[in-house]
Structure 1
Amino acid sequence: MILALAGCARTIGVEVAPHAAEPECADVMLAVPDELGTDLPKVRTSSQATAAWGEPGAAVTMRCGVEQIGPSADCQQVDSGDGTTVDWIVTTDDAGTWSFVTYGRDPAVEVLVPPAVTEDHSTSFIADLAQAVSQVPATKECQ
């Protein structure tokens, strides 16, 4: 029965980031939470240094090893509530997908939140990722 359940596990396709092989990305992946918010469980992904929560078509995805983004007016500091603060460049595209890219951390981490998730959730669960992305030390902060 365990084999049957393992065969039914969902896998979310997530494109690997250019710098996913950086050692810090392994530390980030080991620290990601098993759940975002109260109802987005972690699911398997198809690529190195990636994570996803939710279900196919309605999943929050994360990639470690994306290119850093320079200073931006879209930079926001997010406090996790335990004293850990992460600076994110926060944008939305025309389709309504939210993009969060860490600022001042190399390698950078990207989190995408599609409209299928934001229909029923706020993006406040981004704070749940603070411990994981803090595995990459910050060298700059939002201005």
Structure 2
Amino acid sequence: MMVVLPDTIGDADRRTTTSQSTSAWGDPSKVVLRCGVQVPTPTSDPCVSVNDVDWVAHEDEKSGIWTLTTYGRTPATEVVLDPNVIPSSTVLASLSDAAAKIPAQKACVSVDKSEKL
């Protein structure tokens, strides 16, 4: 997955990171990606599907920062963003093709393909 990540997401260019299995776009970072995170268990957090990749979305109520984690793929991929800085729809559309390189083993039970995060 890491070798097929896009060079840009929206107006944010991909930049070098010093940690393996991570990537970031923008300076300062608008989007941060980590591959190899813990696979999410069933949750009541919303799940959206973008280009046949399911993402579980969790909002930090204090900061408003969103953490989106692929569901049903091992290893899981986590994306952190502020939807007030860069639209989650732009981010997920840009990253779903790369995330799809990890085969799906499960799918969310309830997926909203039209939900806007």
TM-score bucket (shorter structure)? 0.7 to 0.9
Aligned partners of 2:44, 2:20: CA distance in 1, in Å?
A: 31
Match of 1:45 among 6, 14, 17: 17
| 2:39 aligned residue | 68
Structure with the larger helix share: 1
Q: How does 1:30-41 map to 2 (within 5 A)?
A: 30-37=3-10, 39-41=11-13
| TM-score using structure 2 length | 0.84
Residue 73 of structure 1: how far off its partner (Å): 2.5
Query: Deviations along 1:9-45, whole A, 9 cap, x unmatched?
Result: xxxxxxxxxxxxxxxxxxx1101000112x0111111
If you compute each CA radius of gyration, which structure gives the higher value, 1 or 2?
1
The structure 1 segments of at least 4 consecutive aligned residues displaced by more than 6 Å after TM superposition are none
Amino acid at match of 2:37: V
| 1:77 aligned residue | 48
Q: Does 1:137 align with 2:103?
A: yes
| 1:121 aligned residue | 86
Q: RMSD across aligned C-alpha pairs, in angstroms?
A: 1.3
Q: Does 1:54 align with 2:26?
A: yes
Aligned partners of 1:42, 1:98: CA distance in 2, in Å?
A: 19
Residue 76 of structure 1: how far off its partner (Å): 2.0
Query: Deviations along 1:92-137, whole A, 9 cap, x unmatched?
Result: 11211100000000000000003xxx33432112111011111110
Secondary structure of 2:98's aligned partner = helix
Secondary structure of 1:124's aligned partner = helix
Aligned partners of 1:111, 1:36: CA distance in 2, in Å?
A: 12
Amino acid at match of 1:123: S
Secondary structure of 1:106's aligned partner = coil
Q: Does 1:101 align with 2:74?
A: no
Query: Identical aligned pairs, as a percentage?
Result: 39
Gaps of 5+ in 1: 1-27
Provide closer, same or farther for how the CA distance between residues 59 and 121 of structure 1 changes in structure 2, counting only shifts above 3 A.
Answer: closer
| 2:113 aligned residue | none
| TM-score using structure 1 length | 0.70
